[in-house]
Amino acid sequence: MNIVINGHPQQLTSGKILSDIVASYGKPSRHIIAELNGAIVPFDQWAQTSLKDGDALELVTFVGGG
């Protein structure tokens, strides 16, 4: 399936779970926030959220800023 993660098109095997995708981006933590197709997915729902073709996922976290 084709999905877009942080603006980058990616090809993944279907049925990927959100928590696995976040894990591939680094240590999953509450300090990472996931937004799927514009809606925030709470941390405790990551393991039950599977992605489908055409999804757009944003993964953000805290960085230094003024």
Partner 1 sequence: MANDPLVIAGKNFSSRFLLGTGKFKSKKELGESIESSGSQIVTVALRRIDPERHEENILEFIPPHVTLLTNTSGARNALEAVRIARLAKASGCGNWVKIEVINDSKYLLPDNQETVKATEILSAEGFVVLPYISPDLYTARALVKAGAATVMPLGSFIGSNQGLKTREFIRMLIDEIDLPIIVDAGIGAPSQAAEAMEMGADAVLVNTAVACAQNPAGLARSFALAVEAGRLAYLSGLPLQLPSAEASSPLTGFLYDNIGSN
Task: Give the three-class secondary structure for 39.
Answer: strand
Nearer to partner 1, 13 or 66 (CB): 66
Given 2, 25, 47, 50, the residue binding partner 1 (CB under 8 A):
25
Structure tokens at 2: 């084709």
Nearer to partner 1, 1 or 59 (CB): 59
Go through the chain and tell me how many residues it has: 66
Cα 44 from Cα 48, distance rounded (Å):
8
Neighbours of 1 (CB within 10 A): 14
Given 2, 14, 24, 50, the residue binding partner 1 (CB under 8 A):
24
For binding to partner 1 (CB under 8 A), which residues are involved? Answer: 6-7, 24-26, 29-33, 35, 40, 42-43, 58-66
